[in-house]
Copies of this chain bind each other. A is one copy, B any other.
Amino acid sequence: MLSKKSQYAFKALTYLSEKYEQGPVLISEIAKKKKIPLKFLENILLELKKAGILDSKKGKGGGYFLQKAPDQITMATVIRLINGPIAMLPCVSLYFYERCSNCNEKVCGLHDMMVEVRDATLNIVDNRTIKDLLVGGKS
């Protein structure tokens, strides 16, 4: 399941997408409009900034804004950053791989099945961006 943090991140990114190339947006504005706890949102936006998804400006007239176009930010990137692995098992994760203890991947039926699930999921989240989250984003 996606954490609340992830859902907040997507809401914030959606909001910032609507304001893309319209200058910095205040954290407090996003928090208010999207009903996200302010200080919690602060952490999330900072994380998104450090990952190169957002950028910010300090002082008066400052705020947060997208560093790339909405259609250049994939869902997979955001999920991995805020939520963690997309795969259902560490031994099947591309970005958070850890080998199985007591289980040989070469002959593990669960492993193979979870690879299938991972690929089916990636096929979607790798090919969708936050632009697709906007109403009418497909037009």
Report which A residues bind B (CB closer than 8 A).
1-2, 7, 10, 14, 34-35, 75, 84-85, 87-90, 102, 107, 109-110, 113-114, 116-117, 120-121, 123-125, 128, 132-135, 137
Contact = CB atoms under 8 A, between A and B. Distances in A.
A123 B116 CA distance: 10
**Copy number in this complex?**
2
A123 B117 CA distance: 9
B117 A125 contact: yes
Contacts of A132: 109, 113
Contacts of A128: 113
A129 B104 CA distance: 20
Contact of A124 (B10, B34, B117): B117
A116 to B, nearest CB: 5
A131 to B, nearest CB: 9
A84 B88 CA distance: 12
A123 B124 CA distance: 14
28 contacts: A1-B84, A1-B85, A1-B87, A1-B88, A1-B90, A2-B88, A2-B89, A2-B114, A7-B89, A7-B110, A10-B110, A14-B109, A35-B102, A75-B113, A107-B135, A109-B132, A109-B133, A109-B135, A109-B137, A110-B133, A113-B124, A113-B128, A113-B132, A117-B121, A117-B124, A117-B125, A120-B120, A120-B123
